[in-house]
Amino acid sequence: MINSRIAEIFRSIAMYLDAKGVEFKPRAYQKAAQSLETLEKDLKEIYKEGGLKALAEIPGVGKSLASKIKEYLETGQIAEYENLKKELPVDMEELAKIEGLGPKTIFILYEKLKIKNISDLERALEKHQIRNLEGFGEKSEENLELALEFFKKSAGRFLLGEIYDEALKLKNDLAKVKGVSKIEIAGSIRRFKETIGDIDILAVSSNPIELMNRFISLENVAEVYMKGKTKSALRLIKGIDVDLRIVPLKSWGSALNYFTGSKEHNIALREIAKSKGLKLNEYGLFKIKNNQEIQIAGETEKELYFALKMNYIEPEMRENTGEIELALAHRLPKLVKLEDIKGDLQVHSNWSDGKFSMEEMVEQALKLNYQYLLFTDHSKSLGIANGMNEEKVLKQMSFIDKLNQKYRGKIKILKGIELNILKDGRVDISDKILEKLDIVGASIHSYFRMTKNEMTNRIKKAMANKNIDIIFHPTGRLLLQREAYEVDMEELFKYAQKTKTIFEINASYERLDLSDNLIRLGSIYNVLFSLGTDSHYLKQLNNMIFGVGQARRGWLSKEKVINSKNSKELIDFIENK
């Protein structure tokens, strides 16, 4: 969607202007970028229907930035952006991905050491040049080295949520081509992996030439690598590669299974087939008779697993981490589904750093058929997020009472908060206030570099508070940006048996915290989990699908996810836990 590309450019312009010390304008560009990303409608349609005036009416845009959008829609570029890149010839977007590097720091590194890109940064770190700059030092240099190492490890990966809608649109556009009888997204997207490297699409078609022609002529294609009758490959403007394969109907299930992966899962399946005297590949499952291969399964995935005497294994579980053994023993769990989720248990409003009012968030939740919505605006010590003090929390509670009157019979609005866990494990709102709330969450927002023992004890102290129900985004990671802090999650899961603390699976695709392996570990200790989108925008409420995907990767049934309870069951559970 072109909205995302223009938002990216606006953010880059904001960084360049900030680096140069320009006041006010960077914030205007940032605000407009946030607004563009939350738009439901394509900017091309808005401009076509209402021209420059309609663009200017988009919240946070205005006349000046509307003209920039118009310029991009008509020419494919924005002159101001191109000029800024010439004035300050640094790869701002790439360098800004390194934790600890902001626009002003990047400008200093360019001015003092002529660092323009990641390669330049790496060389400067190797020569220990950065520690000698004013305002840096050895510790800053060490932190940059760690951040760079993390960046390089993540290179070429994309967040699932950044690509998911685009992949879905590709699939839906191609599904309209005459002759397409089956089409599906495969690969790591289908397994709901947190980050992905490329997009794999499989199809069955009686008209392959027309399908391939449509594929290579999509509007967001940057480069076509190859075009064939059964396989074509290209790169999208976003920078991600896409493969389209056309397979025969009789091989559909086998091909979908093979190209969904994971590689480790596929290898294990082939070994099971081999042990039974069978041959498994992307074309089907075969028995050998008189030196001839006879296909016995492969048109559907379920047929394939059943032929191997196994339960069908859901795509999210296919990582060869024990799912095959469970399938062979017919003991696979019944995984939670999106339709099992009755509400969202972490949502922000403009009472703190959310961008929309409570009413607007509630109306959006109603469209999702939710029974309840928990507002968890930030507490007072998080000043950067406009955190609420005790007085403001009480006012919000009173306002929620009025909203519940307004929406009686439609949805239950729950009173909550996202507490800031301080360095010593205390929280920043009094127990006298907390005990009045329906559900209380707490999380870490600072001092990420504590030792594992210190961080573990810090969180345990918060868990010991009888008013705290949920630990939000428990490991603090930001995918492709920041690694999790050091913490002994097994120790926390054990401690939760005493405190009855719930652990969140944060559905924001930038976090997806907890990880799948930690979710499975928590299940061993009978921990219960909540799902929260951590929404600050209306559109982010739709991210619950990623939280559910992560829960499924962690092998959770709906009984382990408290959002599967209806509103009465949930409140009764919280009060009695």
Residue 441 belongs to domain with CATH number: 3.20.20.140
Q: Does the residue 231 lie in any domain?
A: yes
Q: How remote is the C-alpha of 288 from its chain's centroid?
A: 45
Task: Give yes or no: residues 163 and 150 share one domain.
Answer: no
Last residue of a domain, one of 130, 154, 178: 154
Q: In the predicted model, is pLDDT for residue 263 greater than 80?
A: yes
The closest alpha carbon to 413, from 352, 473, 349, belongs to: 349
Residue 19: the pLDDT is: 86
Q: Does the residue 27 lie in any domain?
A: yes
Q: In the predicted model, is pLDDT for residue 1 greater than 70?
A: no
Of the listed ranges 5-9, 157-161, 199-203, the least confidently predicted one is: 5-9
Q: Does the residue 139 lie in any domain?
A: yes
Task: Give yes or no: residues 149 and 163 share one domain.
Answer: no
pLDDT tens track for 211-221: 999 999 998 89
Task: Give yes or no: residues 63 and 142 share one domain.
Answer: yes
282: CATH: 3.30.210.10
Q: What are phi and psi of 422, to 5 degrees?
A: -75, 170
217: CATH: 3.30.460.10
Task: Give yes or no: residues 385 and 511 share one domain.
Answer: yes
Task: Give yes or no: residues 374 and 501 share one domain.
Answer: yes
Calpha distance 241→334 (Å, rounded): 34
Q: Which residues pair with 285 in a beta bridge?
A: 280, 297
Task: Indicate the pLDDT class of residue 172, thresholds 50, 70 and 90.
Answer: very high
pLDDT tens track for 294-319: 999 999 999 999 999 999 999 999 99
Give the HSE-up count for residue 368: Cα atoms under 13 Å, Cβ half-sphere. Answer: 25
Range of the domain at 321: 258-328
Q: Does the residue 509 lie in any domain?
A: yes
28: CATH: 1.10.150.110
Calpha distance 35→18 (Å, rounded): 19
pLDDT tens track for 468-507: 999 999 999 999 988 999 999 999 999 999 999 999 999 9
Task: Give yes or no: residues 226 and 367 share one domain.
Answer: no
Q: Are 454 and 421 in contact (CB under 8 A)?
A: no
Q: What are phi and psi of 428, to 5 degrees?
A: -105, 15
Last residue of a domain, one of 246, 280, 297: 246
Q: Domains in the chain: how many in total? A: 4
Bigger pLDDT: 4 vs 565: 565
pLDDT tens track for 183-197: 999 999 999 999 999
pLDDT tens track for 82-134: 999 898 898 888 888 888 888 999 989 988 999 999 999 999 999 999 998 88
Task: Give yes or no: residues 9 and 147 share one domain.
Answer: yes
pLDDT tens track for 29-68: 988 888 888 787 888 888 888 888 899 989 888 888 999 9
Q: In the predicted model, is pLDDT for residue 435 greater than 70?
A: yes
Phi-psi category of residue 58: left, alpha or beta, with phi > 0 → left and psi -120 to 50 → alpha: beta
What is the pTM (predicted TM-score) of this model?
0.88
pLDDT tens track for 315-361: 999 999 999 999 999 999 999 999 999 999 999 999 999 989 999 99
Last residue of a domain, one of 154, 178, 207: 154
